[in-house]
Amino acid sequence: MLEKKIRLNAINDVREFVKEAEKCEFDVDVFYNRIIVDAKSLLGVLSMDLTQPLTVKYSAEDSLFGKALEKFAIA
């Protein structure tokens, strides 16, 4: 399982992130505290506390999805 910390600051960021996640052939999940949502669900991601860093977990390496994650990655 691969993991990356991200921050989504605006609704357009959420739309772009979900759009990229939808292209993946594998599962992509977003975690915050004890809440887990499918990253391919726009409403699910919007329901998260976007003021906090989110953890993205995914099961396969994809260079296009990796580039998209880098845009939202935090240190």
Residue 21's pLDDT is: 96
Domain that holds residue 6: 2-72
Q: Is the pLDDT of residue 75 over 90?
A: no
The DSSP secondary structure of 5-74, one letter per residue, reads EE---SHHHHHHHHHHHHT-SS-EEEEETTEEEETT-HHHHHTS-TTS-EEEEESS--HHHHHHHHHHB-
**pLDDT digits over 10-47, tens only?**
999 999 999 999 999 999 999 999 999 999 999 999 99
Kindly report the CATH number assigned to the domain that includes residue 21: 3.30.1340.10
Structure confidence at residue 17 (pLDDT): 96
Full-model pTM: 0.92
Domain count, the chain: 1
Average confidence (pLDDT) over 38-58: 95
